């Protein structure tokens, strides 16, 4: 009998301890408990689990509904939770407790009850982005009123032009942006789409995955105005309420916020912002849910895009821009933007959707995409 003892890093007993947060550890433990519970339900113990058991478990998990919303678990949730269980099986293989062929439980070998749980990429079109910008308001440099708040517009512009993740955006600091001021060219409309580089260490994967991110010159100028005006007011509100210095995060809560004025913008709030603005812009999609009380299936309209879709949009827009400007390796450009370790990862996620999106780009928006790579 062949024993499958994987030597990948995921199998090492210290992997979870060194790479996952406490919250992620709890989630991983719950998912493993669910797998063990399933084996117990079908009358087996851990050592008797098989590939067919794993596939049956995955099929059931993919059609499970959230107890509160009645909606199917999201694709990302299914993939992440199944990933935890697969890593656990690799670990038990490593210990010699189980003997399951890892190749047979790889994601590409698992069919999921006819449901596609491949990464779902939603890309904001140029026309949809114009609708969102209208709801977000103006930039600091063209703000007609000193009372107009521009933070939300700047958050969205930063994400869609840099491809930063939610956690990476909220980790940006005001000193980082202030340090870029000396690198800006003299005010010249022709050079506003040039870029300045910022080296980030607070990224997914930690300092070992640190990377350089490009910020358009015009965006940095507007961030500097925000720091000197709106952010300064937010920091003053924080000092007044807490009797200590405000956090150095770039994006702070508004000075009139009901909860922690001037405090650092949190991931949950940022994610909620795009949902609110999508509703304002009438960018909605229909989802089906099960009424747990009556057992009836109903439909509901929710935000068409999530905060992470801004990162997807940045990737696809950059690909289109690179193609339009004659870049011979457009996917490599996108890989650098996103900070992926492998170009194959980027291509697997974005190649098909990028080609589809490129075919729908109108002539009127081509100048916008070309400007991204100028």
Mind listing the pLDDT tens digit of every residue in the chain (374 residues)?
A: 344 444 444 444 444 444 566 777 888 888 899 899 989 999 999 999 998 888 888 888 777 777 666 777 777 778 788 888 888 998 898 888 988 888 877 765 555 545 555 556 788 988 899 999 999 988 998 865 555 689 999 999 999 999 999 999 999 999 999 999 998 888 777 777 788 899 988 887 778 888 889 898 999 999 999 999 999 999 999 999 999 999 999 999 999 998 899 999 999 999 999 999 999 999 998 887 777 667 777 888 889 999 999 998 888 888 888 887 788 888 888 888 888 888 887 887 776 677 777 666 655 555 555 555 55
Residue 230 and residue 341 in one domain: no
Identify the pLDDT of residue 221.
94
Residue 48 and residue 176 in one domain: no
Phi, psi of 52 (to 5 degrees): -65, -35
In a domain, 191, yes or no: yes
Q: What is the DSSP string of 128-187?
A: HHHHHHHHH---GGG-SSTT---HHHHHHHHHHHH---HHHHHT-BHHHHHTTGGGPPPS
Identify the pLDDT of residue 2.
46
Q: Which of 312, 316, 324 is nearest to 373 (CA)?
A: 324
Cα 89 to Cα 302: distance, rounded to the nearest angstrom: 37
Percent helix, strand, coil in the chain, to 5, is: 55, 10, 35
In a domain, 49, yes or no: yes
Residue 271 and residue 315 in one domain: no
Please, what's the b/e burial string for 47-84 (b: 16 or more CB within 10 A of its CB; e: otherwise)? Answer: eebebebbbebbeebbeeeeeeebebbebeebbebbeb
Identify the pLDDT of residue 346.
81
Identify the pLDDT of residue 144.
58
Hey, which residues does 287 pair with through a beta bridge? 300
Our count of domains for the chain comes to 3
CATH number of the domain within which 192 lies: 1.10.443.10
- Domain membership of residue 367 as a residue range: 308-372
Distances (CA, A) of 162 to 9, 180, 198: 30, 15, 10
Residue 208 and residue 137 in one domain: yes
In a domain, 286, yes or no: no
Residue 74 and residue 188 in one domain: no
In a domain, 331, yes or no: yes
H and E: helices and strands count for the chain = 15, 4
In a domain, 74, yes or no: yes
In a domain, 1, yes or no: no
Identify the pLDDT of residue 23.
76
In a domain, 302, yes or no: no
């Amino acid at each position: 009998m062949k024993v499958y003892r994987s030597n990948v890093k995921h199998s090492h007993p210290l992997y979870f301890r060194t790479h996952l947060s406490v919250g992620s550890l709890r989630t991983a433990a719950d998912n493993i408990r669910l797998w063990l519970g399933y084996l117990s339900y079908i009358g087996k113990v851990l050592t008797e689990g098989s590939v067919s058991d794993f596939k049956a478990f995955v099929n059931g998990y993919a059609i499970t509904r959230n107890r509160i919303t009645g909606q199917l678990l999201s694709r990302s949730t299914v993939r992440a939770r199944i990933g935890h269980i697969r890593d656990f099986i690799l670990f038990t293989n490593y210990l010699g407790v189980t003997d399951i062929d890892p190749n047979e439980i790889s994601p590409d070998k698992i069919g999921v009850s006819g449901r596609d749980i491949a990464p779902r990429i939603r890309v904001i079109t140029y026309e949809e982005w114009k609708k969102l910008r209208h709801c977000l308001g103006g930039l600091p440099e063209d703000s007609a009123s000193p009372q107009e708040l521009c933070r939300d517009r700047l958050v969205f512009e930063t994400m869609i032009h840099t491809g930063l993740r939610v956690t990476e955006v909220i980790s940006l600091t005001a000193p980082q942006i202030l340090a870029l001021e000396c690198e800006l060219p003299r005010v010249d409309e022709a050079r506003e789409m040039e870029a300045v580089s910022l080296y980030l260490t607070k990224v997914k994967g930690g300092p070992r995955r640190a990377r350089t991110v490009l910020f358009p010159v015009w965006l940095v100028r507007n961030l500097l105005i925000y720091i000197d005006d709106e952010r300064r007011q937010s920091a003053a509100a924080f000092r007044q309420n807490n009797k200590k210095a405000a956090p150095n995060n770039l994006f702070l809560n508004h000075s009139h916020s009901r909860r922690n004025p001037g405090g650092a913008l949190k991931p949950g709030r940022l994610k909620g912002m795009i949902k609110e603005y999508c509703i304002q812009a009438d960018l909605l999609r229909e989802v089906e849910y099960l009424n747990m009380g009556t057992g009836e299936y109903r439909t509901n309209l929710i935000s068409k895009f999530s905060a992470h879709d801004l990162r997807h949009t940045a990737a696809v827009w950059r690909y289109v821009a690179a193609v339009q400007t004659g870049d011979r390796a457009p996917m490599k450009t996108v890989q650098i933007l996103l900070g992926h370790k492998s170009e194959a990862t980027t291509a697997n996620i974005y190649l098909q959707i990028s080609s589809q999106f490129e075919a729908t780009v109108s002539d009127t928006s081509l100048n916008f995409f070309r400007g991204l790579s100028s």
